[in-house]
């Protein structure tokens, strides 16, 4: 199939927009060139270009279109409207039965004709997150000034006019030229196809493939660090951003002034990352190294010495600013900053961060005994947890909230456990973060997130399908991870009720239930992502409603996993089949004269299989209840598995719908006993398949 290649060459595109821009281009090309059946797209992006190469058919064959129109008896106006809609003439219509039918031949088109017609309107409506106009009077917008459009089909240029009416579209015309590196190889040159484009760009100091460029940056940084006995601190986000900032990456290593090495390493790292896009390094013992790595976009004649010296000067100025904030902040004790939180609004309906700090402190003290923490220390950490929001350093670098509280608390002489809790109470912020494990840290982290959830539910700010502006889903998932990874047995209902007593605006009982259900739904989705079948999770969770395990996350997880494991065994599979048989019979018979519930009459049994099954059910019910009370779900499953043989024998030897009405009713009650016994652990009616 012919190769279609398109490059859009512009001034520097923000790194965060490049990949999305290339993906959008591929989507729009796929839609616009659908008649050519585009296939096997490959995308390229970088600071000054996004490009696409895709295989297409060489032409669109001629075709006949047929579409039924108005009735033959329809008013003339209806017929005229139909013709206008399809840009057709009366001669194109034929009468078929009671209707007019439009039948006409659409001539074939070459791929070049289709492309030339489709590209201008596609580019005019291209949806960048932010666009700009530049120069002249054209209304055409692009993320940055668009300088060239290269459009090739099987090595031949596809030329098209970019004007729209009187708008000259900045004089842009599709051609076969692009440009290399802005400084190392300026000027335009022509290419024949995508591969020629890549090779000739490389000759002109541009690595077009973003994956190759990223890998080169990673490899060169690691090589540079290893040569000094150091290692780069991993930062995939920064690596992605730098990949979008350079076309010809050159790794260089600078030195940090020793005067700034006593700053907290997080301060240096954030300052380097945010302000300068530098990579931090560690030595072999994971201690901060007095060096930084960065990527230049040029090969210098002096090996980069002048570039390194310039970046070292800039970094000294940046770190001097950080030093100023650090020294100034430490003149005020963290404890004294709590009062200043009265001027920091948390939410218009929820008051200040000061009020929130008071709530977190109270709740942390209540949670502390549940997680093995000292209540007074948890309360102290909760009170100080938000104090660093008033510091200059956090004002400059919000990413350091909690971290600076840790260092300032240590400086003030607070206990290490209190300081760690201040630092870690925001964790986990994302899926890649570790969770707090120290008891005081766990207590404060849980208090912070429970306050966030309960407070916003109290004012009606619940997440919706289209948005979660207050990150309540993340808070719930954070609590779930803390509970799971620390193996905590906690009652969600009890904790939310406790939080409710602290809130200025109390939650109604129905809202407490809604918060609990919100947690359970997050856990349900998490277990599904981990591979547990949704119907098994639903079965295990449904039976727990209103029980002790309903709001105990660890018990819910254990129940779901035990149910899944049981159903994978032969006993579980066969017992589920018997359960369904019993339920199906009951469903039919209950419609006639049901419900058939209650305890069977033991004296009415006429066959041994009935008696054996009854005794087995009574024993299983007792064993299941005892096992569940002991949280021993495996034993509950084993008790259930022992029902298989007596149930199989019952269905093989006993006729449920006996002609004798009394026997029939008693045997139907025995079936309901099977259903109710198994449903004591999980609602097996929800199991699919």
Q: What percent of the chain has pLDDT over 90?
A: 76
**Chain CA centroid to CA 94, Å:** 55
Place of tokens 């995308």: 43
Q: State residue 645's pLDDT score.
A: 92
C-alpha closest to that of 253 among 313, 309, 322 = 309
Give helix then strand counts, H and E, for the chain: 25, 19
Backbone φ and ψ for 685, nearest 5 degrees, come out as -70, -15
Q: What is the DSSP annotation of 620-682?
A: HHHHHHHHHHTT-HHHHHHHHHTTHHHHHHHHHH--SS-SSHHHHHHHHHHHHHHHHHHHTT-
Taking the C-alpha atoms of residue 107 and residue 114, their distance in angstroms, rounded to an integer, is 12
Partnered with residue 4 across adjacent β-strands are 54, 153
Give the integer Cα–Cα distance in Å for 68 and 614: 69
For the chain, the straight-line distance linking the first and the last C-alpha, in angstroms and rounded, comes to 45
pLDDT along the chain (689 residues), means of 10: 96 97 97 94 97 94 83 87 84 86 84 94 95 91 97 95 88 95 96 96 97 98 97 96 98 97 96 95 95 96 96 96 96 97 94 96 96 97 98 96 98 97 95 94 97 90 88 94 95 86 75 86 92 91 61 89 92 91 92 89 92 94 90 90 92 92 93 92 88
Residues 6 and 151 sit within 8 Å (Cβ to Cβ): yes
Token pair of 435, please?
């969770």
Distance CA 37, CA 42 (A): 15
Closest CA to 542 of 526, 563, 566, 515: 563
Q: What is the pLDDT of residues 84-113, one digit of tens each?
A: 888 888 888 888 888 889 887 778 889 999
Helix (H, G, I), strand (E, B) or coil at 347: strand
3-state class (DSSP) for residue 295:
strand
User: Scanning the structure block, which residue is given the tokens 């005229």?
Assistant: 80
Structure token pair of residue 47: 């600071």
Is 344:352 a contact under the CB 8 Å cutoff? yes
pLDDT of residue 65: 77
Residue in 97, 161, 130 with CA at minimum distance from that of residue 13: 130
Q: What is residue 544's predicted lDDT score, i.e. its pLDDT?
A: 54
Of 437, 441, 455, the C-alpha closest to 358 is 455
Q: Which residue has the tokens 């008033």?
A: 390
CA separation for the pair 261, 419 (Å, rounded):
21
Please give the helix or strand (H or E) that residue 111 lies within, else none: helix 111-124
Nearest to 69 by CA among 82, 80, 86, 81: 82
Residue 249 CA to residue 553 CA, distance in Å, equals 49
Collapse the DSSP code of 556 into the 3-class scheme (helix H, G, I; strand E, B; otherwise coil) and give the result. helix
Residue 242: per-residue pLDDT: 98
Pairing of strands 250-255, 288-296: antiparallel
Say how far apart CA 397 and CA 410 lie, in whole Å: 20
The angle subtended at Cα 98 by Cα 96 and Cα 103, nearest 5°, is 35
pTM (2 d.p.): 0.83
Query: Cβ–Cβ contacts within 10 Å for residue 64, how many?
Result: 8
> Which tokens belong to 75?
């008013």
* Cβ proximity of 57 and 111 under 8 Å: yes
* CA torsion angle 421 423 429 432 (round to 10): -100
* Residue found under tokens 């193996």: 487
Over 383-415, what HEC string results? HHCCHHHHCHHHHHCHHHCCHHHHHHHHHHCCC
C-beta separation of 416 from 410 below 8 A:
yes
Q: Retrieve residue 344's tokens.
A: 């920091």
Token representation of residue 659 = 């002609």
């Amino acid at each position: 199939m012919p190769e279609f290649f398109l490059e859009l060459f512009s001034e520097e595109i923000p790194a965060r927009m490049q990949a999305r821009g290339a993906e959008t281009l591929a989507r729009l090309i796929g839609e616009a060139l659908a008649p050519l059946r585009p296939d096997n797209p490959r995308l390229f992006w970088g600071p000054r270009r996004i490009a696409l190469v895709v295989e297409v058919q060489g032409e669109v064959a001629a075709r006949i279109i047929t579409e039924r129109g108005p009735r033959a008896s329809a008013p003339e106006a209806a017929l005229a409207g139909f013709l206008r809609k399809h840009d057709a003439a009366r001669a194109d219509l034929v009468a078929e039965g009671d209707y007019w039918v439009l039948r006409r031949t659409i001539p074939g088109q070459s791929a070049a004709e289709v492309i030339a017609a489709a590209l201008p309107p596609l580019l005019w409506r291209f949806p960048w997150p932010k666009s700009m106009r530049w120069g002249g009077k054209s209304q055409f917008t692009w993320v940055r000034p668009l300088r060239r459009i290269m459009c090739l089909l099987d090595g031949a240029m596809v030329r098209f006019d970019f004007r729209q009416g009187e708008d000259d579209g900045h004089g842009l015309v599709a051609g076969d030229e692009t440009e290399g590196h802005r400084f190392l190889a300026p000027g335009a040159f022509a290419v024949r196809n995508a591969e020629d484009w890549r090779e000739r760009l490389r000759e002109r100091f541009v690595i077009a493939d973003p994956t190759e460029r990223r890998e080169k940056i990673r490899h060169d940084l690691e090589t540079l660090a290893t040569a000094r006995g150091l290692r780069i601190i991993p930062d995939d986000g920064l690596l992605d951003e730098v990949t979008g900032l350079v076309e010809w990456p050159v790794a260089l290593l600078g030195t940090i002034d020793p005067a700034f090495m006593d700053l907290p390493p997080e301060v240096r790292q954030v300052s380097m990352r945010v302000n300068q896009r530098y990579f931090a390094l560690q030595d072999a013992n994971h201690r901060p190294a007095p060096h930084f790595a960065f990527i230049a976009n040029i090969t210098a004649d002096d090996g980069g010495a002048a570039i390194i010296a310039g970046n070292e000067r800039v970094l000294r100025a940046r770190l001097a600013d950080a030093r100023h904030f650090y020294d100034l902040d430490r003149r005020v004790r963290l404890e004294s900053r709590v009062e200043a939180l009265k001027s920091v609004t948390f939410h218009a309906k929820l008051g200040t961060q000061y009020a929130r700090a008071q709530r977190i402190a109270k709740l942390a003290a209540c949670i502390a005994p549940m997680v093995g923490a000292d209540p007074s220390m948890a309360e102290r950490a909760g009170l100080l947890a938000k104090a660093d929001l008033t510091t200059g350093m956090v004002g400059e670098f919000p990413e350091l909230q909690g971290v600076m509280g840790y260092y300032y608390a240590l400086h003030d002489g607070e206990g290490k456990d209190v300081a760690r809790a201040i630092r870690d109470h925001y964790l986990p912020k994302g899926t890649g973060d570790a969770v707090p494990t120290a008891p005081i840290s766990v207590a404060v982290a849980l208090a912070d997130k429970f306050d966030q959830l309960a407070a916003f539910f109290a004012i009606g700010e619940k997440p919706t399908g289209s948005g979660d502006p207050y990150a309540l889903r993340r808070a719930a998932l954070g609590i779930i991870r803390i509970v799971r990874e620390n193996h905590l047995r906690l009652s969600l209902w009890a904790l939310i009720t406790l939080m409710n007593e602290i809130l200025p605006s109390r939650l109604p009982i129905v809202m407490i239930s809604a918060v609990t259900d919100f947690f359970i739904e997050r856990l349900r989705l998490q277990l599904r992502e981990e591979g547990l079948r949704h119907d098994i999770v639903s079965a295990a969770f449904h039976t727990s409603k209103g029980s002790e395990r309903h709001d105990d996350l660890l018990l819910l997880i254990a129940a779901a996993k035990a149910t899944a494991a049981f159903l994978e065994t032969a006993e579980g599979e066969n017992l589920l089949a018997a359960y369904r048989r019993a339920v199906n019979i009951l469903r039919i018979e209950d419609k006639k004269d049901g419900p058939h519930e209650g305890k069977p009459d033991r004296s009415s049994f006429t066959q041994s299989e009935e008696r054996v099954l009854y005794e087995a059910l009574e024993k299983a019910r007792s064993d299941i209840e005892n096992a569940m009370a002991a949280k021993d779900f495996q034993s509950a499953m084993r008790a259930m598995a022992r029902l298989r043989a007596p149930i199989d024998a019952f269905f093989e030897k006993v006729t449920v719908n006996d002609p004798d009405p009394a026997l029939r009713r008693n045997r139907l009650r025995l079936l309901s006993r099977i259903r109710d016994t198994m449903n004591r652990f999980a609602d097996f009616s929800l199991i699919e398949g």
